[in-house]
């Protein structure tokens, strides 16, 4: 019974869907199904009941799930302790913009420190021009960031979806509306990111249309562009905009998705543990 096969089984058992588990594992569905069938043959019992809508754990599968989680957790801790003994237990975390100060991030930091007290966490804050936080350049191991952006070569887990709104001066004629549509802002100047910024990222934060306006790189620059120039832009609905500013919900914009991202193929157990703790922290 290989650890890799047990990881496959845990993914299917937690997702209760082969397709979603395959996406999570960054593999195609046929080899995942074959691996689970081989595991069932090896154990001599059915682990998952297949249905037209997904799968359900059998009693034997539920027992294996508990044991597999414990075994995989132990294997990860062995790798981390060995790395610590070799003086190599460090993890560099990229955090986008002004993130990292919210309750979910604190829960994540507390939980990760309890699990890995000997691991040194290096935090690298990045501006808004690189939503991957330096992953592709190798400057960080894992990133807490927001989509959408080009995912080529990257793996991601969504942690939360947050509604967005229009960032306006408090004395703007639109500031007292209960909600806005993008069309209400079509004639305005928007803050925007520099040339060369990921086009998917740029398009989302510009409401899906080309815009004219001042170029910004940081959250504070976005706010100052609105305060000083009367430009508009988008921000998270739940964030405190600052004195003299307000946020009005945008009804026709999809939410901003907070994600953990890392490089595909990176098998560092510290990353896997970080992502698992991040899912739990932001779910709570």
pLDDT digits (tens, 9 = 90+) for 32-68: 999 999 999 999 999 999 877 778 899 999 999 999 9
pLDDT band at 201 (very low <50, low <70, confident <90, very high): very high
Residue 279 and residue 157: Cα distance in Å, rounded? 8
Looking at residue 283, its pLDDT comes to: 83
Nearest to 212 by CA among 230, 228, 190, 233: 190
Helix (H) or strand (E) holding 103, with range, is helix 103-115
Average pLDDT estimate for 187-208: 94
| Residue 127 and residue 78 share a domain | no
| Residue 170 and residue 215 share a domain | yes
Looking at residue 202, its pLDDT comes to: 95
Would you state the structure tokens that stand for residue 227, as one six-digit string? Answer: 């305060």
Looking at residue 21, its pLDDT comes to: 87
| Residue 264 and residue 236 share a domain | no
What does the pLDDT look like over 117-136, one tens digit per residue? 888 899 998 899 999 999 98
Looking at residue 69, its pLDDT comes to: 87
Residue 136 and residue 257: Cα distance in Å, rounded? 20
- Please count the structural domains in the chain: 3
| Residue 71 and residue 20 share a domain | yes
Q: Is the pLDDT of residue 87 over 60?
A: no
Percent with pLDDT over 70 in the chain: 96
Q: Is the pLDDT of residue 154 over 90?
A: yes
Average pLDDT, the chain: 90
Least confident of 87-91, 114-118, 206-210: 87-91
Looking at residue 103, its pLDDT comes to: 84
Residue 190 and residue 181: Cα distance in Å, rounded? 15
**Ramachandran area for residue 161 (φ above 0: left; ψ -120 to 50: alpha; else beta):** beta
CB 164 within 8 A of CB 250: yes
Looking at residue 100, its pLDDT comes to: 67
3-state secondary structure 39-72: HHHHHCCCCEEECCCCEEECHHHHHHHHHHHHHH
Would you state the structure tokens that stand for residue 215, as one six-digit string? Answer: 């170029």
| Residue 144 and residue 265 share a domain | yes
pLDDT band at 86 (very low <50, low <70, confident <90, very high): low
| Residue 261 and residue 156 share a domain | yes
CATH code assigned at 228? 3.40.190.10
Looking at residue 161, its pLDDT comes to: 94
| Residue 118 and residue 46 share a domain | no
| Residue 7 and residue 44 share a domain | yes
Percent with pLDDT over 90 in the chain: 63
Average pLDDT estimate for 234-238: 91
Average pLDDT estimate for 237-255: 93
Average pLDDT estimate for 180-205: 95
Which residue among 63, 83, 103 closes a domain?
83
Looking at residue 265, its pLDDT comes to: 82
| Residue 51 and residue 24 share a domain | yes
Looking at residue 82, its pLDDT comes to: 73
Looking at residue 84, its pLDDT comes to: 63
Which residue among 83, 116, 138 closes a domain?
83
> What residue numbers bound the domain in which 228 lies?
164-254
| Residue 115 and residue 64 share a domain | no
CATH code assigned at 43? 1.10.10.10
| Residue 244 and residue 114 share a domain | no
| Residue 263 and residue 122 share a domain | yes
Which residue among 53, 83, 113 closes a domain?
83
């Amino acid at each position: 019974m290989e650890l890799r096969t047990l990881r496959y089984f845990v993914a299917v058992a937690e997702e209760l869907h082969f397709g979603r588990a395959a996406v999570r594992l960054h593999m195609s569905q046929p080899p995942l199904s074959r691996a689970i069938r081989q595991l069932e043959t090896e154990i001599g019992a059915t682990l998952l009941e297949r249905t037209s809508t997904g799968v359900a754990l059998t009693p034997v599968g539920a027992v294996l799930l508990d044991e597999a989680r414990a075994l995989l957790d132990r294997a990860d801790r062995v790798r981390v302790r060995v790395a610590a003994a070799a003086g190599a237990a460090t993890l560099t975390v990229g955090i986008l913009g002004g993130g990292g100060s919210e309750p979910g991030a604190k829960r994540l930091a507390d939980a990760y420190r309890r699990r890995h007290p000997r691991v040194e966490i290096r935090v690298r804050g990045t501006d808004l021009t690189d939503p991957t936080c330096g992953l592709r350049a190798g400057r960080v191991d894992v990133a807490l960031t927001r989509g959408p952006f080009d995912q080529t070569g990257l793996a991601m887990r969504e942690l939360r979806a947050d509604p967005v709104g229009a960032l306006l001066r408090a004395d703007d004629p639109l500031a007292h509306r209960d909600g806005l549509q993008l069309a209400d802002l079509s004639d305005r100047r928007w803050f925007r990111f520099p040339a060369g910024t990921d086009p998917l990222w740029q398009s989302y934060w510009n409401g899906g249309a080309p815009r004219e306006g001042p170029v910004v790189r940081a959250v504070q620059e976005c706010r100052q562009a609105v305060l000083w120039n009367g430009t508009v832009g988008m921000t998270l609905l739940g964030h405190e905009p600052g004195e003299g500013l307000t946020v009005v919900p945008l009804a026709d914009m999809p939410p901003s998705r907070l994600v953990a991202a890392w490089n595909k193929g990176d098998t560092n157990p510290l990353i896997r543990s970080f992502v698992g703790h991040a899912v739990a922290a932001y779910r709570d």
